[in-house]
Structure formats: C-alpha cells, structure tokens
Amino acid sequence: MGDTQLVWFKRDLRIGDHEALARAADLGPCLCIYIYEPEVLRAPDFDPSHLVFINEGLRELRENLRGLGSDLLLCHGEAVHVLNDLHARFNFKSMHSHQETGNAITYARDLRVLEWSRHANVRWEEYRQHGVFRGLRDRDGWAGRWNEVMRSPLIESPRRVDKPVGLECGPILSEAELGLETSTKGLVQTGGESQGLDTLLAFLSERGERYRTEMSSPNTAVHACSRISPYLAFGQISMRTVLQETEARQRIIRAEPKVKGVKRPPWGASMASFSKRLRWHCHFIQKLESQPELEWENMARAYDGLRETDFRTDWFEAWKAGKTGYPMVDACMRSLHDTGWVNFRMRAMLMSFASYHLWLDWRPTSLYLATQFLDYEPGIHYSQAQMQSGTTGINAVRIYSPTKQVFDQDPEGVFIKQWVPELSGVPAENIAQPELMSADEQDRYGCQIGRDYPAPLVVHKEAVKAAKQRIYGVRKQAEAKSEAQAVFERHGSRRKPNRRR
Ligand SMILES: Cc1cc2nc3c(=O)[nH]c(=O)nc-3n(C[C@H](O)[C@H](O)[C@H](O)COP(=O)(O)OP(=O)(O)OC[C@H]3O[C@@H](n4cnc5c(N)ncnc54)[C@H](O)[C@@H]3O)c2cc1C
C-alpha cells in the first residue's frame, strides 16, 4: 500500500472522467474530501439553491465512492485550516484536485493553499478538467489545444479506491446547518452525476431534435435545450464526456441512410449548433482564467466610468423583482426566481435591458443574476455580462428590444402569462405592450396599468437612443479603438464571428 493521497473534490463532483481521483487511486489509499467553505457560502454570488444542487451531487458521489471501497469526508471550514488539520491526522504527502477557474474568493484561496502546501511539504497535483489553459498570453492556437484535450480518451473511473484507516465521514450539511436561508426556488433541476448523464442522453436521443430552431423561445427552449449547464458548472459531468457523446451521436446521424423523397429530421443542424456551443463554454471560461479581474473590472478600461455613477437603485429593485413594466423582462426574471434557468436569448435580453435601457452598471446586476442562475459559472457569466453590456470593446453592441422579443418568441403570451399572472386576462394583441390598452380595455381585461401591473420604467426608443449615444461616444475614441485591438489579441476568438449570437 502506498502513501495516503488526499483527493479534494471542488467543482468536479463525479467519479467519471475524473483524473484527480484516478491518478490518486493508483498511488495509495485516498482521503476523499469536500470542503464547505464559509467564505464561499457567504459570498454575494452564492445562493442556497446552489447548495441544494451541490448536496445532491455530494450524496451520489459519496455513494459511488463507497461502492468503490472508499468514502467522502465532508469538512466545514476555511480550506487551509481544514487541510492543515487533516494533514496532522493523516500525514498525506500529495493532494490531487482539478484546476478551478472560479471567483476572486476561490482564486485567493487557491493561492493560500499553494503556499500552505509548499510549507507543509505536500505535493499539490492539479489536473485540467476543461479545455481551459493556465498562463495563456493570447488566443493563437487555442482551438487546436481545445480539440486535443476534448478528443483525448475519457479517464476511466478506478475499479477500487482504498480509504485510509480511521476515516470517519461527517454528514452532508443542509442550508440551516451551514447558516444559510432555505432555498426559495421550486422547479429546479436535480443534481447528481447520473442525473447529469441522463439529462445529456435524453437530449441527444429525443429532446434535441429541434434545438437549433427552438432554443430562442422560452416556451420551447426549456425542453429543446440540453439543460446540461448546472451539471457542467458543478462538474457532475465532464465537458469531454458531453462532447464525445455528442460526436458519437453525430456519427450515427450522418450514417443514417437518406430515403428519397423523405425529409430528414433536423438532427444534423441541431447537433452542429450544439457542439459549437460546447466550445464556447471553454472559450468564455478561458477569458476569466487569463484575466481574473473580469469579475470586477471592465474588459476594456476605456469604458470605466460609463455607468458607475448613474445607478438607480429603484430601477435595480424593479428589475430584480420582475416589475419593470416590460412583460418579457418581468416574465423571464420571475421564472428565474422559481426555476433557476432561462435560455440564452432571454438572459441576453435581461442583461441588455438592465445595462442599456436602465443604464445600470453590470457589476451589481450580474452578481444578482449569478445568485439566480443554478448553473452560475463565473467564467461564462462575467464575460457574457460584459459582452451584453458593451464593455468588452470587441463585440458588436447588441440592444434587444423586449417588445420585439415578445413578437418573435412568445406572440401568444403563453410564457408571459405563466409567470406574470396580472396579465393573464390580456389578449395576445396587447400582451407585448399592455400599457397601450385604453382605459376601457384595461377594465375589460382586469389589468389596470399602474395598479395591477406597472407602467414601463422607461420608454424603449428614448432609452435606446440615449444608451447608443453614450456607448458609441466611447467606442469611437482613438484610445478605445487601440485598446480593442489589445483585448482582441488576448481574448478574441480566432474563428469567424458568429452572426446568430
Ligand atoms: C448574461 C449571461 C449570463 C450567462 N451566465 C451563464 C452561467 O453563469 N453559466 C452558464 O453555464 N452559462 C451562462 N450563460 C450562457 C448560456 O445562456 C447558458 O450556458 C445556457 O443557457 C445554459 O443552458 P443549456 O445547458 O440548456 O444550454 P445549451 O444551449 O444546451 O448549450 C450547451 C452548453 O453549451 C455552453 N453554452 C451554450 N451557450 C453558451 C454561450 N452563449 N456562452 C458560453 N457557453 C455557452 C454551456 O456550457 C451550455 O450548458 C450566460 C449567458 C448570458 C447572456
């Protein structure tokens, strides 16, 4: 039997394709741990719903480890203290974990752990779990490296994991035991490695057929999108597994014989759109990996000072509550409160509405959305938030019209009425702009604007005109242009721009 190895599970709650576990299990008995870290749980981007999802993942992980002969030790405390105590008890010489591209708190914690490990003479092996690379200065050659990682064979889960003598594992801790409020979300996805795989396989074999055409409407996206994001965010499935299963499915689709006169189902186009987005996952996380400041600093500093001093707290509160007077914005926000998920197009609209129509700084608004998204993944989240707010300097300014989104994505108002019951009596022709109903109509349909449902906070045309003037005012300056080139070198995709998103 070799030396005891510590395996630290972080945002990688699985045994499949888990390099840290597999390598450690080859070397000796494994002290498998998860740490509930107070500073992470109390951070403003954390929500109790995240803990519920994590705990569901931990429950299954613990069962799986027990099935392999080991167990999962659940610890509560600051990471360095926990590791130091465990080191005193188990005298491990090496620890194994996956690299994490997290928020500023976990970044600083990893630096402290590194220092501690050097001090304690413990070797810390960190393995890559996504197609994200440390220490990159620019994006040249990134796609090739991503392909290499994603196409390399999956790591087999160990057949047996020995556990150190004297290991007693504590219980999984609830929200209350960790001093958190109870999660208020109702219809959220259930966590766990097997749920993650089932979700993916159901998408690839049934739900994903019309992914390409149904991803943008909140009515259809809920079933037509993969819904794999929270499993990826907490590592309950690996990106390599998702990509390789997708490519296996694509091979089957391509091999299906063509029947003359019979139109093929749209699987091919849908899977092509899907697999492209899997690359975006890592492309976005790479931005935060290369520049952790993106969590709090504009990607292009030329935009510093653009919105910061104009913050209207009353508008922020109305946006958070889903009471802006724009039915699509309000329905999306309220659905998020309950389900923790909404599709990409609607996320982009929510962010763009906050940043352009309400001229709110992206930092507090993205932080709020982080708590509302069950799949909160800092690298994607802050890069997308900045992109939808015009502060990257390299992406086209895209301002969504929340009224047009109703015409395009929910013309009958089905989604809106599901989440904004005040509008349930309003007919389809008035659902995009209920404030235009006459007093008579408001009476007839049981929705008094200003009493039952708010009047719009801002007038779309005027707000967009003012926003464009301000953002293009910066964009056309010489310094902003030259900075945009530097941002592109560091973060820009070397592929042709995509017109759909
Ligand atoms: C303001 C804003 C914030 C966002 N925050 C997050 C976040 O915290 N976590 C997160 O996972 N996604 C985030 N997204 C991206 C995207 O909306 C979600 O990945 C997607 O809606 C998740 O649902 P799905 O798994 O069914 O996606 P699918 O459409 O089925 O896509 C599959 C996977 O591809 C990746 N992907 C898809 N679209 C994108 C995209 N535009 N950018 C990067 N990766 C993508 C994700 O990993 C996703 O799980 C954000 C988008 C916006 C506009």
Domain ranges within the chain, ordered by starting residue = 5-129, 193-290, 294-491
Give dist(CA 218, CA 409) in Å, integer: 7
Please tell me the distance between residue 112's alpha carbon and the centre of ligand 1 in angstroms: 31
Check whether 376 has a pLDDT greater than 60. yes
Please tell me the distance between residue 63's alpha carbon and the centre of ligand 1 in angstroms: 29
At 500, is the pLDDT very low, low, confident or very high (cuts 50, 70, 90)?
Answer: very low
Q: What is the pLDDT of residues 462-481, one digit of tens each?
A: 999 999 999 999 999 888 88
Ligand 1 atom nearest to 283, measured from its CA: 43
Point out which residues pair with 453 in neighbouring strands: 449
The DSSP code sequence of 55-97 is HHHHHHHHHHHHHTT---EEEES-HHHHHHHHHHHH--SEEEE
In this structure, the residue with its CA closest to atom 1 of ligand 1 is 385
Q: What is the pLDDT of residues 100-137, one digit of tens each?
A: 999 999 999 999 999 999 999 999 999 999 999 999 88
Q: Three-state SS across 119-187? A: HCCCEEEEECCCCCCCCCCCCCCHHHHHHHHHHCCCCCCCCCCCCCCCCCCCCCCCCHHHCCCCCCCCC
Q: What is the pLDDT of residues 279-306, one digit of tens each?
A: 999 999 999 999 999 999 999 999 999 9
- Structural contact between residues 308 and 364, judged by C-beta atoms closer than 8 angstroms: no
Average pLDDT estimate for 126-151 = 94
Average pLDDT estimate for 18-31 = 97
Mean pLDDT of the chain: 95
Please tell me the distance between residue 413's alpha carbon and the centre of ligand 1 in angstroms: 24
List the CATH code of the domain at 294-491: 1.10.579.10
Say whether 34 sits in a helix, a strand or coil. strand
Q: What is the pLDDT of residues 438-460, one digit of tens each?
A: 999 999 999 999 999 999 999 99
Ligand 1 atom nearest to 239, measured from its CA: 47
Give dist(CA 277, CA 47) in Å, integer: 26
Ligand 1 atom nearest to 376, measured from its CA: 8
Check whether 437 has a pLDDT greater than 80. yes
Percentage of the chain lying above the pLDDT 70 cut: 98
Ligand 1 atom nearest to 381, measured from its CA: 5
* Residue corresponding to tokens 């080191």: 87
Please tell me the distance between residue 363's alpha carbon and the centre of ligand 1 in angstroms: 19
Pocket of ligand 1 (CB under 6 A): 215, 225-229, 232-233, 277-278, 280-281, 284, 343-344, 347-348, 351, 373, 375-377, 380-381, 384-385, 388, 501
Give dist(CA 204, CA 199) in Å, integer: 9
Please tell me the distance between residue 171's alpha carbon and the centre of ligand 1 in angstroms: 32
In this structure, the residue with its CA closest to atom 8 of ligand 1 is 376
Residue type, 148: E
Check whether 499 has a pLDDT greater than 50. no
Average pLDDT estimate for 46-72 = 97
Q: What is the pLDDT of residues 175-210, one digit of tens each?
A: 999 999 999 998 889 999 999 999 999 999 999 999
Residue type, 291: Q
Please tell me the distance between residue 51's alpha carbon and the centre of ligand 1 in angstroms: 20
Q: What region, left, alpha or beta, does residue 192 occupy, with left being phi > 0 and alpha being psi -120 to 50 degrees?
A: left
Please tell me the distance between residue 376's alpha carbon and the centre of ligand 1 in angstroms: 9
pLDDT of residue 261: 83
Percentage of the chain lying above the pLDDT 90 cut: 89
- Structural contact between residues 27 and 38, judged by C-beta atoms closer than 8 angstroms: no
Helix residue ranges, H only, 421-500: 439-444, 460-475, 478-491
Euclidean distance between the first and final Cα of the chain, in Å?
53
In this structure, the residue with its CA closest to atom 33 of ligand 1 is 278
Which residue out of 189, 271, 344 has the highest number of ligand 1 atoms within 8 Å of its CB and is therefore the one to mutate? Answer: 344
- Structural contact between residues 277 and 184, judged by C-beta atoms closer than 8 angstroms: no
pTM of the model as a whole: 0.96
Give dist(CA 329, CA 284) in Å, integer: 25
Please tell me the distance between residue 274's alpha carbon and the centre of ligand 1 in angstroms: 11
The DSSP code sequence of 420-436 is -GGGTTS-GGGSS-GGG
Check whether 419 has a pLDDT greater than 80. yes
Longest dimension (CA), the chain: 83
Please tell me the distance between residue 40's alpha carbon and the centre of ligand 1 in angstroms: 22
Give dist(CA 199, CA 202) in Å, integer: 5
Give dist(CA 247, CA 239) in Å, integer: 12
In this structure, the residue with its CA closest to atom 38 of ligand 1 is 277
In this structure, the residue with its CA closest to atom 48 of ligand 1 is 229
Size (the chain), residues: 501
215: its two tokens: 């991803």
Measure Cα distances from 440 to 430, 436, 443, 445, 447 in Å: 13, 11, 5, 9, 10
In this structure, the residue with its CA closest to atom 11 of ligand 1 is 229
Check whether 497 has a pLDDT greater than 80. no
In this structure, the residue with its CA closest to atom 30 of ligand 1 is 226
Give dist(CA 405, CA 501) in Å, integer: 14
Average pLDDT estimate for 11-27 = 98
Ligand 1 atom nearest to 350, measured from its CA: 1
74: its two tokens: 């659940």
Q: What is the pLDDT of residues 343-356, one digit of tens each?
A: 999 999 999 999 99
Residue type, 83: L
Q: What letter does residue 320 receive in the DSSP assignment?
A: H
At 496, is the pLDDT very low, low, confident or very high (cuts 50, 70, 90)?
Answer: low
Q: Three-state SS across 381-395? A: HHHHHHHCCCCCCCC
Give dist(CA 114, CA 96) in Å, integer: 12
List the CATH code of the domain at 5-129: 3.40.50.620
- Structural contact between residues 450 and 270, judged by C-beta atoms closer than 8 angstroms: no
Give dist(CA 65, CA 303) in Å, integer: 49
Beta sheet of 5-9, edge-to-edge order: 73-76, 30-36, 5-9, 94-98, 123-127
Ligand 1 atom nearest to 230, measured from its CA: 11
Please tell me the distance between residue 231's alpha carbon and the centre of ligand 1 in angstroms: 12
Look up the CATH architecture of domain 193-290: Alpha Horseshoe (1.25)
Which residue out of 214, 217, 277 has the highest number of ligand 1 atoms within 8 Å of its CB and is therefore the one to mutate? Answer: 277
- Structural contact between residues 148 and 240, judged by C-beta atoms closer than 8 angstroms: no
Residue type, 344: F
Check whether 498 has a pLDDT greater than 60. no
Q: What letter does residue 417 receive in the DSSP assignment?
A: H
Q: What is the pLDDT of residues 253-274, one digit of tens each?
A: 999 888 888 888 899 999 999 9
